[in-house]
Amino acid sequence: MAPRPDSSGPAETTRSNLIAAGFELFGTAGYAATSTRRLAERAGTNVASIAYHFGGKAGLHAACAQAAAERIADAVGAPRDPGAIGADAAVAALEKALRGLAALLLNGEQAASMVGFLVREMNASEEIVQILFDRFVGPKHRELCALWAAATGRPAESEEVRLSVFSMIGQVLYFRLGQPVVLRGMGWDAVGPDEAGRIAEHLVAQLRASIDRSRI
Amino acid sequence: MAPRPDSSGPAETTRSNLIAAGFELFGTAGYAATSTRRLAERAGTNVASIAYHFGGKAGLHAACAQAAAERIADAVGAPRDPGAIGADAAVAALEKALRGLAALLLNGEQAASMVGFLVREMNASEEIVQILFDRFVGPKHRELCALWAAATGRPAESEEVRLSVFSMIGQVLYFRLGQPVVLRGMGWDAVGPDEAGRIAEHLVAQLRASIDRSRI
DNA sequence: TGCCATAAATCAAACGATTGATTAATTCCT
DNA sequence: AGGAATTAATCAATCGTTTGATTTATGGCA
């Protein structure tokens, strides 16, 4: 059934084309609304290739989830133990991470379809949540909690710190997910680099306020 | 095509049953993944009733969007012009609105499917965004901006104030949308009234910090 | 290298199943 | 009786998948 588990073949382009098509179509229209024929058409190949390379539509979907998690994990960067770090340096590191996340989510059309893909399936598939969490959400969250702890002096495992990190992420994620509503509310036509930068600066200011408040 | 535009008939129960089924199935599985036969089965009626009462599957979907917007608008409460209000009273009003939003979104299983329904279609249908925004997001956002302006002394139309209100809403919305991930990160089994309360208290603290910071 | 046998990959075509919609007949209620 | 409402049955269209044949790439032998 499965073709060849390893890589490096002329069929690799077909596989990556199908995954790219999966990002776009699954991410924008959803799993059920995306037909295998449109996937194949978008990928410039035949319908049977989906079953041949991925075992079926579900297999392609799972491969898309893996690939999306991989790319975002790359963009977010490997979580590293901050170790002993000064409060000011921790704040700077948090600001840098926040700016990076905002740039990743708000700029770039490709990120939009990937994020849409992940969030759309997050509430539908427990497996996707597992992949997401194990791959980068969990480790990155722990790293940010350690930074937050170093910045405020509170224990990294405390509920307060973990909630603070989640709501920091939630803010920037909302500007991606709720973008259609945000555009109307702000009177913007689109979120370009300009608007993304202003959002990022605002979120950084919020971050500073939150840290100052919980500092001990 | 349309049966009777008005209400109050023996068929009204069929209509409301179909809309309730639409909330659950559209909200959890999405539009395309929900078949008319399952909708009818869940509603305890025949497939042809969908076409008879709503003109078709798309009509039922639109009716669900209208009903969802209506119920959430009721729960959020009619936006009222705060008028001349003291800073402290404005802060209190903001806190109350935030607590109400958190309770609405985080408690209750019914709210989950409605919010899921709305967010799912937000990026797919411009019409849904229009309904959402006109019905309560827009007016409520303006009201919250007025409160924020009264609390901080900044102009209500400024970009800073509008962004602040959006990120306040984004925080609480993320705890609903990203709930599967949040549960793992917090080590919780579910978001019950207890957890919802602790999230709300945290968000209120964040709100106070944000207001204190931008106060002039 | 040159040739062929084998495997890998792609293709058009068709399968059964399910989709949303429609029809005609039936039941319900006033 | 008579319109409103519901039902079972059926429609064409599309779904994901499979099939067998064909094309393309790979590896061994001279």
Of A24, A46, A65, which closes a domain?
A65
Residue A7 lies in a domain: no
For B162, the closest of A29, A170, A185 (CB atoms) is: A185
Identify all chain A residues contacting B141, using CB atoms and an 8 Å cutoff: 185
The count of other CB atoms within 10 Å of the CB of residue A10 is 6
Report pLDDT for B8: 54
Same domain, yes or no, for A124 and A168?
yes
Write out the residue range of the structural domain in which residue B28 sits.
12-63
B118: CB within 7 A of chain C nucleic strand: no
Which residue in B166, B195, B199, B201 has the most chain A C-beta atoms within 10 A of its own C-beta, making it the best mutation to test that interface?
Answer: B166
Same domain, yes or no, for A61 and A105?
no
**Closest C-alpha among A138, A155, A137 to residue A146:** A155
Report pLDDT for A1: 36
Span A136-149, average pLDDT: 91
Of A65, A81, A101, which closes a domain?
A65
Residue B45 sits in a domain whose CATH number is 1.10.10.60
Residue A155 lies in a domain: yes
Residue B2 lies in a domain: no
Question: What is chain A's mean pLDDT, rounded?
Answer: 86
Question: Is the model's pLDDT at A53 over the cut of 50?
Answer: yes
What is the Cα–Cα distance from B33 to A32, expressed in whole angstroms?
5
Residues 6+ apart with CB under 8 A from B152: B87, B161, B211, B214, B215, B216
Same domain, yes or no, for A152 and A58?
no
Total tally of structural domains belonging to chain B: 2
Residue B98 lies in a domain: yes
pLDDT tens-digit profile of A143-185? 999 999 999 999 999 999 999 999 998 888 889 888 888 999 9
B169 with A167: Cβ contact below 8 A:
no
pLDDT band at residue B9 under the 50/70/90 scheme: low
B202 with A164: Cβ contact below 8 A:
yes
With beta carbons less than 8 A apart as the criterion, state whether B128 and B118 touch: yes
Same domain, yes or no, for A77 and A167?
yes
Report pLDDT for A9: 61
* Greater model confidence, B111 or B52: B52
Distance to chain A for B59, nearest Cα, Å: 18
Residue A3 lies in a domain: no
The count of other CB atoms within 10 Å of the CB of residue A6 is 6
pLDDT tens-digit profile of B100-154? 889 888 886 777 777 777 777 776 777 777 877 887 888 889 999 999 999 999 9
Q: In the numeric block, which tokens belong to residue B148?
A: 């924020």
Instruction: Write out which nucleotides of chain C lie closer than 7 A to a protein Cβ.
Output: 8-14, 18-24, 29-30
A47: CB within 7 A of chain C nucleic strand: yes
Residues 6+ apart with CB under 8 A from A89: A150
Same domain, yes or no, for B54 and B139?
no
A185 with B212: Cβ contact below 8 A:
no
A162 with B184: Cβ contact below 8 A:
no
